A and B are shown apart, each in its own frame.
Chain A
Amino acid sequence: MRPSGRSWGIISAFDVVPVMHMQLMRIFLLLVWASSASAAELPDWSGVWQRVEGNGGMFDVSTTKPPNGFAGTPGVRQHPPLTEAWERKYAANLELVAAGRLPDPISRCGTPAGYPRLLALPDVYEFIVRPEQTWIITENGPNIMRIYTDGRQHPPAGERWPTFTGDSVGHWVDGALVFTTVSMVGEAQTVLDRSGMTLSDQASVATRMYLTDEGLLRAELEIEDSLALTEPWRVVRHFRRLPEGTKAYDYACAENNRNPITNSGQTLTLDTDGKVIDKVIEND
């Protein structure tokens, strides 16, 4: 029953609502139809995944020397097309690795790994695909990467700032997610791996991700960086789907971090009472 008392004009809210309701319903149905049509064309990336290329998180295993070397092992490095200036930076970090003093930002349990390093992490991954957006969720860290595929463009320069995962927009092409990422923090707060490889905050990444015939999820990256690279650096990474039912869990890095890092980059070890176990502590 319609209440009496039309208090605000000739046409009451109760007259308008049915019209609005019908229009909204039409729009909603159109959106559902459009969304469903798009969703039907999207690939199945459900489940829990794990990186294929391990090597202690070495980012570009194809150029790693010695082959199969592990990130963080003295003498192990990759060979991107580096500018002279960036080769010097990388060489300096490699010396820190050799001395056991490379300050890996994620070891402090305060910041995420960022993009593109988040494609080379241990533990597991989830790829949540929607027509308007895809999320890459890494258990380790954790990291949440948002890739918008709703037609938007990167914001203008004045409306974005360097972040760990940057700003990603893209679209779907024949089952492949194609996107570009800009505005990453670079060397200021991230490394690509524990060999000490970094990029600058001028880097951009063009990524293409798709399922291979073998059921692997393949990510092809083309990295450009006017400060670090003399030409585009192409890196490929793969992920394998883990058995159905595999779960991802919390990764609360600060829950019981007994390995604080000194300003000099030394990783300490604490006992259960929080006291330093190390016999030798370098001056910061």
Chain B
Amino acid sequence: MTRSVFAIALLVFAFAADAHHSSAMFDKEKVIEVTATVREFQWTNPHVWIEIIVESEDGVAEDWSIEGLGPNGLFRNGWRPNSFKAGDKITIRFNPMLDGSKAGGFIGAKFEDGHTLGNWK
């Protein structure tokens, strides 16, 4: 497993502010990047959810829930209901929860074939 945490210089990388709810629970000054396996992709309103399995530093598989924006706007930006599939190996970046719980606000993802979704610069 690789996991890295880095501060961001520009808020443009942060979980978008147009969610249907407050983004106050996310640490928008911090980005976590992990390698993960997709367990489930929920293509639903008001938000899509990427359920991932992350191997912790001591080798334990952990379930994390990464929240994206709504499917309608994402579709118009190139996402599809099968953009993530169970079993996909990805590297994913997100704003973590401030309280350290296993969830976050989606920023971007890179797949094994090199294609990306979201903000990946």
Contacts and interface: CB of A to CB of B under 8 A. Distances in A.
A269 B101 contact: yes
Interface residues of B, number: 31
B13 to A, nearest CB: 14
Given A123-B70, A123-B73, A272-B40, A107 B51 contact: no
Nearest to A261: B21
A72 B103 contact: no
A202 to B, nearest CB: 28
A73 B17 contact: yes
Contacts, number: 103
B63 A271 contact: yes
Given A72-B23, A267-B24, A272-B51, A255 B97 contact: no
Residue with the greatest number of chain B CB neighbours at <10 A, chosen from A106, A269, A278, A280: A269
Contacts of B75: 249
* Interface magnitude class on chain A: 35 or more
Nearest to A109: B46
A48 B51 CA distance: 32
A278 B99 contact: yes
B49 A107 contact: no
B56 interface: no
Contacts of A194: 17, 22
B76 interface: yes
Given A123-B72, A253-B20, A277-B102, A269 B42 contact: no
Contacts of B73: 122-123
B21 A267 contact: yes
Interface string A121-137: 01110000000000000
7 contacts: A73-B17, A104-B21, A107-B22, A194-B17, A248-B72, A259-B67, A277-B103
Interface of A: 54, 56-57, 70-73, 100-102, 104, 106-107, 109, 122-124, 139-140, 194, 242, 246, 248-253, 255-259, 261, 267, 269, 271-272, 277-280
Interface of B: 17-18, 20-25, 40, 42, 44-47, 49, 51, 63, 65, 67, 70-73, 75-76, 97, 99-103
Top 5 nearest A-B pairs by Cβ distance?
Answer: A100-B24, A56-B17, A256-B44, A107-B21, A122-B18
